[in-house]
Structures are given as C-alpha cells and as structure tokens.
Amino acid sequence: LRQSLPFGRKSFPLWGGRKRNIPLRVSDRITTPVSFGFFHSSIILPKEMTREGSLMQDAILYHEWIHIR
C-alpha cells in the first residue's frame, strides 16, 4: 500500500440510496486486485488493469467492493 499511487475514487451504492466513496490505488508490485483496510478501506489495482475496458474494470471493482462490505 505504501508504494501504490492514487488512482481516483469510486462511489459504491449502500442500502437506503446512500453511497460510499472508496479510494482507488494502483501498483506495479501486485498482479491481482486487492481490497485493503478495515476502517479506511481502499482497492489496489495492478498497473496493467488500469487499461482494461470500463465494463471489465467495473466488474473487478465491484468484486473487490464485496470483500469490503
């Protein structure tokens, strides 16, 4: 996490119409996406996955969001 770089934020839906913003980070030191943290969660993507199409990237991000919820 210390060697990852900010990549933006993604807003995920919560119950009752609220949303939660999760920081996204990118790293060239990992090969698979990871969700990290308990109280201050973030999702770290491998550098190669930042070039994926938006549909594939959304699917990956929602998969990691499930781990955080």
Residue in 13, 12, 37 with CA at minimum distance from that of residue 25: 37
Pairwise pLDDT comparison (17 vs 19), residue with the higher score:
19
Above 70 in pLDDT, residue 10?
yes
Show the 3-state SS of the chain. CCCCEEEEEEEEECHHHCEEEEEEEEECCCCCCEEECCCCCEEEEEHHHHHCCHHHHHHHHHHHHHHHC
- Tell me the whole-structure pTM to 2 decimals: 0.78
- 39-57 average pLDDT score: 82
